[in-house]
Amino acid sequence: MIRAAHEDDVAEIRSMIGELAAYERSADQARVSAAQLHEALFGEHPAAYALLAEDDRTGAVSGFALWFPRFSTWTGTRGMHLEDLYVRPAARGAGHGKALLAALAAICERHGYERFEWWVLAWNEPTIGFYRSLGVEFLEEWTVCRLSGDPLRRLAAASPAAAETLPAP
């Protein structure tokens, strides 16, 4: 069963984020607090949305998908960015990942989103194989860029004073 996350699911989602980070060999980078996650998902202006997969027999949470809308200047339409998709090891192979992706694809269709995009680690062959089985297109000519920490602060310090008056989301 797939359902939208509720406020009382925050601790479970936070736990799965930690599990995913450990699987991705980056446990030290998953620093989100329950309060931050609650605000991001259920605050006055949500930054993201989450779906949960539950085991049909036990009702236990077996996985989650966390996503947010994006915008394409090329198509002039919104799209979806999937930030995290995770199914707990004991539940893998039971269709939860595919069900989560299908639910997200249905959200895209319902809202007229023309693109549904996410990243996958190059070494994660089991997941890449799963995505290939769904017909996912891999955009190998694109490289993900990230600016954070000191380089982000240095670049921000070079901003003209007028940047302080620009609107923030």
Domain boundaries, the chain: 2-165
Average pLDDT score over residue span 20-26: 95
Q: How far apart are CA 56 and CA 73, in angstroms?
A: 41
What does the pLDDT look like over 69-123, one tens digit per residue?
Answer: 999 999 999 999 999 999 999 999 999 999 999 999 999 999 999 999 999 999 9
pTM of the model: 0.90
What is the per-residue pLDDT for 72? 95
- What the block records as the tokens of 43 is 């605050």
45 alpha-carbon distance from chain centroid: 17
The CATH number of the structural domain formed by 2-165 is 3.40.630.30
pLDDT tens per residue across span 121-167: 999 999 999 999 999 999 989 988 989 899 998 988 888 776 677 67
Q: Going by C-beta distance under 8 Å and a sequence separation of 6 or more, which residues neighbour residue 150?
A: none
At residue 107, φ and ψ (nearest 5 deg) are -60, -45
Question: Which residue numbers are catalytic?
Answer: 131
Position 83 scores a pLDDT of 97
What is residue 168's predicted lDDT score, i.e. its pLDDT? 66
Q: What is the pLDDT of residue 16?
A: 98
Give the pLDDT score at 162. 63
Q: What is the pLDDT of residue 60?
A: 94
Return the pLDDT at 159.
Answer: 85
Cβ atoms of residues 62 and 88 within 8 Å: yes
